[in-house]
Amino acid sequence: MTTVATEPAEQPDVQAMLDEGTQHALSLYPPDSCYLLNASELAADGVTVWVARSDGGAALGMVALVDGRDGTAEIKRLFVRDEARGLGAATMLMDALERHARTLGAARILLETGPKQLAAISLYERRGYVRIENFGPYVGDDFSHCMALELDGP
């Protein structure tokens, strides 16, 4: 059974997933189009990190939410290891993240992914996220695919 809990980003197995996610992103996009927060940035105030783990404690996936404190929050670093794909880890991570966003009072969750990440886009679309104009640092980046979910409340 997979479990999901908030955990610090600055621990070895989470850092290993961050490294895997970075390698994957850099295999698809130019470095200037990879907007990846590192472990110390994920440890900042206003950022919550969830880790999905197997029964044996192996880290299977992770995701972070940055509270914009303006009614919006942004998803960062959703990553599920290849061996854990299809086991529901991404869904569990997103469920936890969206519940937390509602407790923060967020009315909208934003995200940026890449156009080549079709599985991620499909996951977000199934959850009700819709394509929006690129925002913030992603404006003008053809390698950015921005989406948003309007939250209905708790």
Say yes or no to pLDDT of 68 above 90: no
User: What residue numbers bound the domain in which 125 lies?
Assistant: 3-150
Strand partners for 74: 66, 110
pLDDT tens per residue, range 50-59: 999 999 999 9
pLDDT tens per residue, range 29-41: 999 999 999 999 9
In the chain the first and final C-alpha atoms are separated, in Å, by: 26
**Main-chain dihedrals φ then ψ at residue 120, nearest 5 degrees:** -65, -45
Q: How confident is the model at residue 154 (pLDDT cuts 50, 70, 90)?
A: low
How many folded domains does the chain comprise?
A: 1
Tokens linked to 58? 């192996």
Alpha carbon 103 to its chain centroid, in Å, reads 18
pTM for the model: 0.94
Rounded distance between C-alpha atoms, residue 95 and residue 116, angstroms:
24
Rounded distance between C-alpha atoms, residue 100 and residue 106, angstroms:
9
| CATH code for position 33 | 3.40.630.30
Contacts of 55 (CB under 8 A, 6+ apart): 1, 2
